[in-house]
Amino acid sequence: MGAMTDKVAMVTGASRGIGAAAVRAFAAEGARVVLLARSRAEIADLAGEIGPDRALAVPCDISRYWEVDAAVEAAVDTFGRLDVLVNNAGVIAPIAPLSQADPEAWGQLVDTNLKGVFHGMRAAMPVMLDQGAGTILTISSGAASNPMEGWSAYCTSKAGAAMLTRAADLEGREGGLRVIALSPGTVATEMQREIKASGVNPVSRLDWDDHIPPDWPARALVWLAGPGGDDWLGREVSLRDEAVRRSVGLIR
C-alpha cells in the first residue's frame, strides 16, 4: 500500500517538468491522479501511461476560472473526491526590464502564475471543506521574496501566490485544510532553458548541473501531502534546506 492509496491528487501544469514528475510520484504512491494542462496530447499520453482507471487528463487553461472549476467537477464526478491540489503551472516570460516590459504579456503571466493559483484554490476549497479534509500545495520560489532583474512579473506573481497560501491556511485550517508552499530552488526544466537563453540576471548563468532534477520537488510534494507536511501548515518549505531534503529522503 502506497502513502497516497485511496487519495485523489490534481496537478496543474502536468504536461512536463515538475508537474509531470509529480503526477508520476503521486501515482507511484497509489493515488489516482487528475492531470491539468493546455497541452492535450501530452497529458493524454501520461494518463495513458498510468492507466485509465487511475488517471484523468483534463485539458485546461488555469487562467480561466470556469475551466478550472469544470476540471474539479470532472475529478469529483470520476473519482468521488479530491484530496490534494498541486498548484504547479507557471511561466517565466516576459523576461524584460520593468521600464520596457510589454503590459499585455506582463498581465498574461499574472493571469497564469497568480490568478491561476487563486482559481485552483477557489475551485478546490469548497470540495475539500465539504469533505472536512484536503491538502493544497503551491510551487513557490525564492523570487517571492527577492527581486530579480528582468523578472518583475514573475517575482510579483510568486509573492502574491505566497500570500494566497497564507490566506487559504488562515481561512481553511479549522475546516481541515492543509495549505503549504514548496520552494524547490532551481530545477532542470524547460523554464531554466528559457532563463538561460535570456542571459538576464545571475540565474541565467548557472550551469545545468546546478539545477536539481524534477523528481526531487515531486517527491517533496508527496511527502508534504502526508504527515511530513504537518509542521509546515501555512508556511513555505525550502528544498534548499538540507534538513528538508533529508526528511524527504533525497539525501542521507
Strand 236-238 versus strand 32-37 pairing type: unpaired
**1, part of any domain:** no
C-alpha pair distances (Å), 31 with each of 3, 5, 147, 151, 210: 8, 5, 37, 35, 31
64, 60, 87, 210: which is closest to 141 by C-alpha?
Answer: 87
The catalytic residue among 154, 157, 169, 237 is 154
**125, part of any domain:** yes
What's the predicted TM-score (pTM) here?
0.96
Confidence class for position 2, pLDDT limits 50, 70, 90: confident
The tally of CA atoms less than 13 A away on the side-chain side of residue 121 is 25
Quote the pLDDT of residue 30: 97
Quote the pLDDT of residue 252: 87
**3, part of any domain:** no
**2, part of any domain:** no
Quote the pLDDT of residue 1: 63
Tally the domains of the chain: 1
DSSP 8-state symbol, 96: B
Question: Residue 20 is part of a domain; what is its CATH number?
Answer: 3.40.50.720
Q: Which domain holds residue 28?
A: 8-248
Instruction: Evaluate if residue 68 carries a pLDDT over 90.
Output: yes
pLDDT tens figures, 23-46: 999 999 999 999 999 999 999 999
65 is catalytic: no
Quote the pLDDT of residue 129: 98
**118, part of any domain:** yes
pLDDT tens figures, 109-159: 999 999 999 999 999 999 999 999 999 999 999 999 999 999 999 999 999
Section 6-16 average pLDDT: 97
CA distance 29 to 7: 10
Residue found under cell 475539500 = 128
pLDDT tens figures, 155-208: 999 999 999 999 999 999 999 999 999 999 999 999 999 999 999 999 999 999
The rounded mean pLDDT for the chain is 97
**156, part of any domain:** yes
The secondary structure element, H or E, covering residue 139 is strand 134-139
